[in-house]
Amino acid sequence: AKIYHRADYSYFTREMGVEIRERVRMMHALRTAFEDERLFIVFQPQVHIGSGKPIGAEALLRWKTEDGTLIPPDQFIPIAEYSGLIVNIGEWVLRTACLELSRIHQSGLQDFRMAVNVSQTQFSHPLFLQLITSALHDAGVPPENLELEITESMAMTDPDLLIMTLEKIKAMGVRISIDDFGTGFSSLSQLQKLKVDKLKIDRAFINEISDGTNDGSIAKMIVQLSQSLQLEVIAEGVENQLQAEKLMSFGCDHAQGFYFAKPKNKVELHTWLQAYL
Ligand code: C2E
Ligand code: CA
Ligand code: CA
Ligand code: CA
């Protein structure tokens, strides 16, 4: 038994070595890509379900390598977080998103909001509040039109720090939404303490609406929860009319998903928004 054990062990560490080398390689590539401005942002419209009219957009980060391959954010964001690169990259995302928001406001859509994903490392950074102030100021956009998307899991790592930071952000007038809501097991009492503005129903619960496993009972429950806590609610990953109609019948007014609009680059977004000016 001992021999097998040792064999397993060496096999395991060899695999881990490969994985760590791969991660380090990717971290260097990511840093270079950021310096060479090969990261860019796309914007996915968020709409009023009934009318399809835009209410805002979510900024989503993209990485295109030199040979033209797109690396999905699910693959490189964890590396950016783990290496600390997310602090500088996240600052750039926030500033760029605010500048884009300013242009959209100037084009005539004054109520338009911009949602920006913020990770744990950024959020707990001592200069994060200053960064928000500075990004809003430099772009000249009202704080009410900026929405920061945080995840439920952030509520679990350091709830006290989170509550304190959220209070300061809210005092500035910036809005907070909980991303992927329903997947992170945060308790309802925690949710109430956090005093966020909005719940974003995770795509998984929207997906269920069409595949016959259930009728979207979890999505419905989250909409009801948002109503009783007087929070806004938005569904993400809406891909078809059935889902849109079901969500409307649940009382969910806002949605984001391929059915309404795919993520767009700046130019595409402006063209898409023209129809609503
Ligand atoms: P997320 O915040 O949940 O973003 C929504 C993801 O769902 C996006 O994937 C979007 O393209 C995709 N999506 C939107 N509508 C639909 C739909 O109808 N069907 C399907 N199947 N998918 C849809 P994306 O852009 O690949 O982003 C993945 C994740 O990467 C994001 O998930 C977010 O957690 C993270 N991420 C992206 N940009 C940033 C960023 O700037 N900062 C941080 N910290 N994280 C980011
Ligand atoms: Ca998000
Ligand atoms: Ca999400
Ligand atoms: Ca998600």
Q: pLDDT tens digits for the chain (277 residues)?
A: 444 454 455 555 656 666 888 889 999 999 999 999 999 999 999 999 999 999 999 999 999 999 999 999 999 999 999 899 999 999 999 999 999 999 999 999 999 999 999 999 998 899 999 999 999 999 999 999 999 999 887 877 777 888 899 999 999 999 999 999 988 767 777 788 888 999 999 999 999 997 666 689 999 999 999 999 999 999 999 999 999 999 999 999 999 999 999 999 999 999 999 999 8
Backbone angles phi, psi at 99, to 5 degrees: -65, -40
Instruction: Give me the residue label for tokens 């989503």.
Output: 60
Nearest alpha-carbon partner for 92 in 52, 39, 53? 39
Question: Which residues lie closer than 8 Å to 35 by C-beta, 6 or more apart?
Answer: none
134 vs 165: CA distance, rounded Å? 16
- The pLDDT score that the predictor gives to residue 194 is 83
Instruction: Give me the residue label for tokens 């913020």.
Output: 118
Is the CB of residue 45 below 6 angstroms from any atom belonging to ligand 1?
no
- Cα distances (Å, whole numbers) of residue 96 to 6, 59, 100, 222: 52, 9, 6, 32
Instruction: Give me the residue label for tokens 């063209």.
Output: 271
- The pLDDT score that the predictor gives to residue 78 is 92
Is the CB of residue 60 below 6 angstroms from any atom belonging to ligand 1?
yes
209 vs 222: CA distance, rounded Å? 14
Q: Are 59 and 117 in contact (CB under 8 A)?
A: yes
Give 122 Cα–ligand 4 centroid separation in angstroms.
Answer: 19
Give 2 Cα–ligand 2 centroid separation in angstroms.
Answer: 47
Residue nearest to atom 15 of ligand 1 (CA): 257
Q: Please spell the DSSP secondary structure of 134-151, one letter per residue.
A: HHHHHHT--GGGEEEEEE
Residue nearest to atom 25 of ligand 1 (CA): 60
Residue 22, amino acid: E
- The pLDDT score that the predictor gives to residue 23 is 86
Nearest alpha-carbon partner for 116 in 101, 130, 126, 106? 101
Write the ipTM: 0.97
Is the CB of residue 202 below 6 angstroms from any atom belonging to ligand 1?
no
Is the CB of residue 73 below 6 angstroms from any atom belonging to ligand 1?
yes
**Beta bridge mates, 40:** 62
- The pLDDT score that the predictor gives to residue 2 is 46
Ligand nearest to the CA of 259: 1
- The pLDDT score that the predictor gives to residue 179 is 94
- The pLDDT score that the predictor gives to residue 31 is 97
Q: Which CB contacts under 8 angstroms, 24+ apart, belong to 22-29?
A: 23/79, 23/82, 26/75, 26/76, 26/79, 27/79, 27/82, 27/83, 27/85, 29/65
Is the pTM of the predicted complex or chain greater than 0.95? no
